[in-house]
């Protein structure tokens, strides 16, 4: 008697949530968690037009993050347009009985930080949000992806979503990362290797000894950046690191229920002979501290390299893309990346705004002075409190950086935290597109340690000498 065919982690979660399959091959998936932010008002307007109600308010959670000002408090007035966005989220969630982590709530923060922090992100769940970096939650072994406004309305009204099943792509990273390196370097190295569309139509699964060695924060960073390779989502099989990160969280199972859940979660990792449509193996020893030089995350190189010369590119399409990127970035071919000056730094975002990220940046900055101004925005109010208890805020302030409240902040520049035209920003965020951090702003993506090193040097800089002899 033939047994069931071996399945991937993605297959197991997908199949467990298929309600029905359409004639065109698409599947109707049951959705376990639906996160909303201020931009969800378009979807609520669709509900109002149809006089519809939210099907599962108990599985839906509102979070104020994209537009919230990070400089708030006594004597500070809020932009009326931003205030209106936040107020609409408050009204919509209250009308439909949806829990809200809004301004003034001690649990407020960036949705992709708050979900794991509160124990809402769990292995084996399907999770959606009207934000492309929902892939972050896949670090826990969840199937998590971003959706559009009409899809947000569909999930609100039905608790389900039609999707076409992507192919499977395993990314194995083997070996020990060098000193000063982290998940951000793995992600940028991978994206630079396969390109910004190299994983289009696929669900990524990260595996290998280097991945198993990552902390939960590192895994979240890696899955967060999955979308930048064109993937639909990114996942990591749950293990003891995952279970330890979940235990005791406010919304997580407790007691015997937690133990039962762990037993079920241990069945989720991909079977030994599971089929992957694509697979790549990366040696950790080949990864160096990475910075982006262009206007997509794939345009990245080790900080020890030089700005590439488009004239040496044999592919005419890639050559033209490189010329356009260098023109926008104001860089000349052959320039040493470590000599490129920066105007400002930013540490934060759903990519690198967790406590481990702040600790790493602080370990570089402690006892040193930044040569350029900068902003540090914790990923959540909880992260901010913990960082202040550990004295990290004092290190940032003494270095000359501004310590502000939690929110998406300078990652997307929707709340007023933006650079000025022509400024060059060393940033821990996830995208370096034209104008992402303000009109005419030039963004270089890198890890928290690399941003801290750039703040001290006043140029793009290798973080390793700055970390020598220090505990990261």
**Hey, is 315 helix, strand or coil?**
coil
Q: What DSSP character marks residue 430? A: S
The residues spanned by each domain of the chain are 9-165, 167-237+271-286, 290-467
Pick the CATH number of 9-165 from 3.30.499.10, 3.50.50.60, 3.60.20.10, 3.30.1330.200: 3.30.499.10
Taking alpha carbons only, the member of 351, 315, 331 closest to residue 191 is 351
Question: Residue 375 pairs with which residues in a beta bridge?
Answer: 346, 402
Tell whether pTM > 0.85. Answer: yes
Name the token pair of 408: 């998406």
DSSP calls for 341-362: B-SEEEE-HHHH-SHHHHHHHH
Superfamily of domain 290-467: Aconitase, domain 3 (3.30.499.10)
Q: What is the pLDDT along the chain (472 residues), one digit of tens a residue?
A: 356 899 999 999 999 999 999 999 999 999 999 999 999 999 999 999 999 999 999 999 999 999 999 988 655 678 888 899 999 999 999 999 999 999 989 999 999 999 999 999 999 999 999 999 999 999 999 999 999 999 999 999 999 999 999 999 999 999 999 999 999 999 999 999 999 999 999 999 999 999 999 999 999 999 999 999 999 999 999 999 999 999 999 999 999 999 999 999 999 999 999 999 999 999 999 999 999 999 999 999 999 999 999 999 999 999 999 999 999 999 999 999 999 999 999 999 999 999 999 999 999 999 999 999 999 999 999 999 999 999 999 999 999 999 999 999 999 888 889 999 999 999 999 999 999 999 999 999 999 999 999 999 999 999 999 999 887 6
Question: Residue 18 pairs with which residues in a beta bridge?
Answer: 29
CATH 3.40.1060.10 fits 167-237+271-286, yes or no: yes
Q: Do 290-467 and 9-165 fall under one CATH topology? A: yes
């Amino acid at each position: 008697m033939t047994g069931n065919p071996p399945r991937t982690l993605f297959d197991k979660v997908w199949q467990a949530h298929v309600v029905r399959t359409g004639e065109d091959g698409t599947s109707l998936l049951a959705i376990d968690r639906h996160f909303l932010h201020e931009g969800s008002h378009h979807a609520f307007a669709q509900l109002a037009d149809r006089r519809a109600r939210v099907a599962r308010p108990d599985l839906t959670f509102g979070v104020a993050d994209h537009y919230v000002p990070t400089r708030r408090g006594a004597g500070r007035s809020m932009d009326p347009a931003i205030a209106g966005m936040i107020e609409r989220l408050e009204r919509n969630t209250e009308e439909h009985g949806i829990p809200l982590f809004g301004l003034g709530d001690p649990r407020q923060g960036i949705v992709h930080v708050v979900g794991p922090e509160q124990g809402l992100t769990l292995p084996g769940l399907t999770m959606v949000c009207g934000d492309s970096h929902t892939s972050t939650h896949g670090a826990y072994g969840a199937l998590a992806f971003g959706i559009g406004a009409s899809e947000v309305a569909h999930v609100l009204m039905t608790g389900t979503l039609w999707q076409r099943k992507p192919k499977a792509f395993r990314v194995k990273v083997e070996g020990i990362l060098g000193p000063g390196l982290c998940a951000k370097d793995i992600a940028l190295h991978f994206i630079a290797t396969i390109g910004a569309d190299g994983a289009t139509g696929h669900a990524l699964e990260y595996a290998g000894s280097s991945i198993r060695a990552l902390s939960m924060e590192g895994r979240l960073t890696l899955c967060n950046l999955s979308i930048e390779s064109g993937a639909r989502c990114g996942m990591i099989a749950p293990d003891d690191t995952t279970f330890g990160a979940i235990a005791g969280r406010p919304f997580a199972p407790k007691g015997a229920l937690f133990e039962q859940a762990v037993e079920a979660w241990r069945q989720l990792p991909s079977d030994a002979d599971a089929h992957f449509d694509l697979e790549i193996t990366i040696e950790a020893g080949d990864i160096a501290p990475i910075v982006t030089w262009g206007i997509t995350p794939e345009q990245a190189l080790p900080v020890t390299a030089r700005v590439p010369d488009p004239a040496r590119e044999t592919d005419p399409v890639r050559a033209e893309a490189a010329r356009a990127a260098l023109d926008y970035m104001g860089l000349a071919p052959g320039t040493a990346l470590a000599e490129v000056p920066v105007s400002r730094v930013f540490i934060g975002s759903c990519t690198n705004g967790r406590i481990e990220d702040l600790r790493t940046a602080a370990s570089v900055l402690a006892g040193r002075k930044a040569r350029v101004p900068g902003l540090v925005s914790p990923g959540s109010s909880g992260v901010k409190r913990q960082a202040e208890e550990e004295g990290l805020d004092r290190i940032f302030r003494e270095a000359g950086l501004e310590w502000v409240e939690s929110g998406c902040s300078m990652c997307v520049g929707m709340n007023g935290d933006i650079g000025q035209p022509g400024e060059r920003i060393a940033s821990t965020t996830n995208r370096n597109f034209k104008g992402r951090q303000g009109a005419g702003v030039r963004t270089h993506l890198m890890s928290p340690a690399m941003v801290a090193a750039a703040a001290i040097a006043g140029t793009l800089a290798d973080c390793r000498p700055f970390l020598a002899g220090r505990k990261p």
